Amino acid sequence: MKGLLFNTYVFIFAFWPISVGVYFFLNRLRYVTAAKLSLVIASLFFYSWWNISYLPLILGSIAFNYIVGRLLQVTVHGSDDISVDQEQKDQRSKRKGLLHSPKALLTIGLVGNILLLGYYKYTDFFLINLTEISGHNFPLLKLILPLGISFFTFTQIAYLVDAYRGKTREYNLMSYILFVTFYPHLIAGPILHHSEMMPQFDRLRNKHWNWNNASKGVYIFCIGLFKKVVIADTFAEFANDGFASAHQFVDTWVATLSYTLQLYFDFSGYTDMAIGAALLFNIVLPQNFNSPYKALSIQDFWRRWHMTLSRFLRDYIYFPLGGSRRGELIAMRNVIITFIIGGFWHGAGWTFLVWGFMHGAGQAVHRMWMKVGKPLPKWFAWLITFIFINIAWVFFRADTVTQALRLLKGMIGLNGLDMSSLKTLAPAGLFILIFLPIVMFASNSSERVEAFRPTWKKAIFMAVIFVISLLYFNRITEFLYFNF
């Protein structure tokens, strides 16, 4: 994993500016296709550097989904008679054969993607549980999770579903490969939508160097880098120690709050770096965070946290299940199912299923309260929401349910209120007291970029936090969402 992180940071000094220079040089010569190809090669090189054996995997996934997507486009748009609905088209297609049926094609595409993701991500989980249930010892495959498989799989599932719905137009293979592999987002998101990305690769104004975008990109990239290597990696030390041994009231709260803040600064830091890297190519990635710990409800939290995942869960799982069209009880069932699936997407383990169920149940309770309850004071709504999120993160981080329960017992005082560790926990407590208010009250990265104007003060600020970040490279830890 440290090789992977070194891989990422090498882009800061060499590969990123080189790929930017080649891209705009080729565009300046009007070699537009060659410019796109240079980005595709750069992205695949970046992906392969970690483990080249998985390059055929992502290329095979791209080829499979592109072919299925094109067949869907041809099949769905094959009739010019607008009076013919999708069901009638499907009936006609059945008489023509399997590959002329939109539903059959979509099923093939979804099954193919789910089987690929399931094989690498969940095989050992099912084998472990099958061993426990049956008593027969099934040997584990111990598969290494291919880099970014969850993100490029979800991205392509969304593309296929939209092709089935008739929402995509014909894209050439080069644009499609670039859409899937564009390296700023490839390994940890955001989860992209074809309609917001593919047009940008063909837009004329995006093919010329833009100093405003470049300065914004470097600015937000430096902020994201600082968030990751200075703040998140410091909280990681406190969280790792706490989850390994904490059991008293104070040390469990310090451990869980440290992880809550580590996860925020780690993932939002990576997203800032991805958005910043893309801006140098004049490509605008979607916002993925909007001060999620300021949320006043669980529903509000998911409108702010990992926003592109929330959009995917809503559009491609919750709505197809029926959404809220069939009454409140069905809507609550659907939201719980959606978040259980979302939890399982994050990792193969019972703790992730519990985490997903908690968020689904929390949203269901919120829906009921909005129907029958009175609005809570804002401070109280925030407090309840933040405590719930912090408790749910315990299951997200814990290796086992037993470990999670140990921490939760400590948090409510069932394991004692020993204060003897206060001195040892002082550095972690101080870090929490400094950065929690910043998360709560400071402008977020998106707001800073919107208000950004290049000045000498900002240049000095970027230089200072960049140099400070370099000083922390000796203790690099993994990006948390690389695991998902």
Residue positions annotated with a catalytic role = 346
Q: Report the chain's terminal Cα–Cα distance, integer Å.
A: 14
* Token pair for 196: 């917001």
Please write down the HEC assignment for all residues of the chain.
CHHHHHHHHHHHHHHHHHHHHHHHHHHHCCCHHHHHHHHHHHHHHHHHHHCHHHHHHHHHHHHHHHHHHHHHHHHHCCCCCCCCCHHHHHHHHHHHCHHHCHHHHHHHHHHHHHHHHHHHHHHHHHHHHHHHHHCCCCCCCCCCCCCCHHHHHHHHHHHHHHHHCCCCCCCCHHHHHHHHHCHHHHCCCCCCCHHHHHHHHHCHHHHCCCHHHHHHHHHHHHHHHHHHHHHHHHHHHHHHHHHHHCCCHHHHHHHHHHHHHHHHHHHHHHHHHHHHHHHCCCCCCCCCCCCHHHCCCHHHHHHHCCHHHHHHHHHHHHHHHCCCCCCHHHHHHHHHHHHHHHHHHHCCCHHHHHHHHHHHHHHHHHHHHHHHCCCCCHHHHHHHHHHHHHHHHHHHHCCCHHHHHHHHHHHCCCCCCCCCCHHHHHHHHHHHHHHHHHHHHCCCHHHHHHCCCCCHHHHHHHHHHHHHHHHCHHHCCCCHHHHC
| Distant-in-sequence, close-in-space partners of 117: CB < 8 Å, separation ≥ 6 | 149, 150, 153
